[in-house]
Structure 1
Amino acid sequence: MSDATARRRGRPPRTESAGTRDRILAAAREEFSARGYEKTSVRGIAKTAGVDPALVHHYFGTKEQVFEAAIEVAFAPALQAPGALADGPLDGVGERLARFVLGIWENPATRAPVLAIVRSAVDNETAAAVFRRLIASQLLRRVAAQVDAPDAELRAELAAAQLVGCAMLRYVIKVEPLASADVEQIIARVAPVVQGHLTGP
């Protein structure tokens, strides 16, 4: 009996490339970006990655778990936002955070995966739940931890809502004149509002 026959169907052989997991994640991001959560399937991800669907299940489990792993990698740049708060004086935190978040959207390399995440979250409740969990545990709580106020979590959420709302109108819905406005002009107008949410009375 050959080694391929002896091993359980769908399980990776011992010599399986260390890059298989990363290839599946890259394929998942590509599929979710192109099709959204609802129309993406584990079989489609496997086809794009060039692997058996059983390998996708082996490494990640369900489609929801694949989505969570894929967006965590894609959303990694945004998770550096708490550092933007800590790096400088408190009275400039609104501008630093606005500049950081809008900078992610301005860069095509980081905008595409974040846009795919947002679109999937808007279209599907399962995807939205995964996105909420990631945002709450890895971003908003870390931002709130740096805000010295009893209602720190609410302040962090309001600041995020301001920036996410601005990003949605500018980059997703593309409402004019916001969509074509100079990003520095937007930062100048949004930053004081974000500052107020985080440090105001």
Structure 2
Amino acid sequence: MNEGTRQAEPKRRGRRAGGEDTKAALLAAAREVFVERGYEGATVRSIAARAGVDPAMVNHWFGGKEGLFVKAVLQLPIDPDTLVERLLDGPPEQLGERIVRNFIGVWDATGGGQFAALVRSVTAHEQVAGALHEFIVRTVLHRVVATVTNDRPELRATLAASQIVGMGMVRYVLAFEPLASTDVDTMVKAVAPNLQRYLTGDIG
């Protein structure tokens, strides 16, 4: 291996042992590389080099690049159960407001980068699309909607997801101004009423 190859990717300081330390290092490195380069531009070798571990560890822990992408990009600064608790903590008629506020708060906390990387790759990778659906629709929204109404909760959750994902695309992926930098309170007032109709109103 020549000197240029060794310096192609910055490595973490220190030597990685096996086990959870290696797994955590790969997740952290993958989030950085996927955000910087997108799914196609990121390679297993570049992620492993960033983490300072052997590339074989990607297959060992995640089954390959796609599995690592799903785990790394979908990881949020809040677990699903806590998020559902937050969304249900209040009157049902204000559910739309809480969803918008929490969604923007969660993704803004990471600069929107993880969401942008996810959406850019979702159409080309079935596993990623399935993971996005599983998390937003089934793990979060369906649980929330089923708590407040038994009227077509699956449809309502999917309609709500269309609003949330669309908002995220415009805010973080396309970065359309002024929406991309609009404050949370303004976003809540603008988006929540339509979202509330999907959740508990008349959908025909």
| Same fold? TM cut 0.5 | yes
SS class of match (2:147): coil
Instruction: Give the total of aligned pairs.
Output: 185
Tell me, yes or no, if the aligned pair for 2:77 and 2:106 is still in contact at 8 Å: no
2:27 paired residue among 22, 25, 28: 25
Q: CA deviation at 1:76?
A: 5.1
Residue number in structure 1 paired with 2:45: 43
Residue number in structure 2 paired with 1:65: 67
Counterparts of 2:38 and 2:108 in 1: how far apart (Å)?
Answer: 21
Counterparts of 2:105 and 2:112 in 1: how far apart (Å)?
Answer: 9
Mark the CA change 1:140 to 1:65 in structure 2 (over 3 Å): closer, same or farther: same
SS class of match (1:145): helix
Residue number in structure 2 paired with 1:190: 191
Task: Give the % identical residues.
Answer: 43
SS class of match (2:148): coil
> Max radius of gyration: which structure?
1
| Structure with a larger share of its residues in helix | 1
Q: How far does the alpha carbon of each residue in 1:37-85 deviate from its partner, in whole angstroms, 9 at most, with x for none?
A: 1222222221111111112211111222111221332x35373442233
Tell me, yes or no, if the aligned pair for 1:169 and 1:175 is still in contact at 8 Å: yes
Bigger shift: residues 115-124 or 15-24: 115-124
Counterparts of 2:113 and 2:44 in 1: how far apart (Å)?
Answer: 21
Tell me, yes or no, if the aligned pair for 1:105 and 1:111 is still in contact at 8 Å: yes
Mark the CA change 1:181 to 1:54 in structure 2 (over 3 Å): closer, same or farther: closer
Q: CA deviation at 1:146?
A: 2.1
Gaps of 5+ in 2: 1-16
Normalised to the residue count of structure 2, the TM-score between the two structures is 0.78
Q: CA deviation at 1:121?
A: 2.0
Gaps of 5+ in 1: 1-14
Counterpart amino acid of residue 180 in structure 2? A
Residue number in structure 2 paired with 1:89: 91
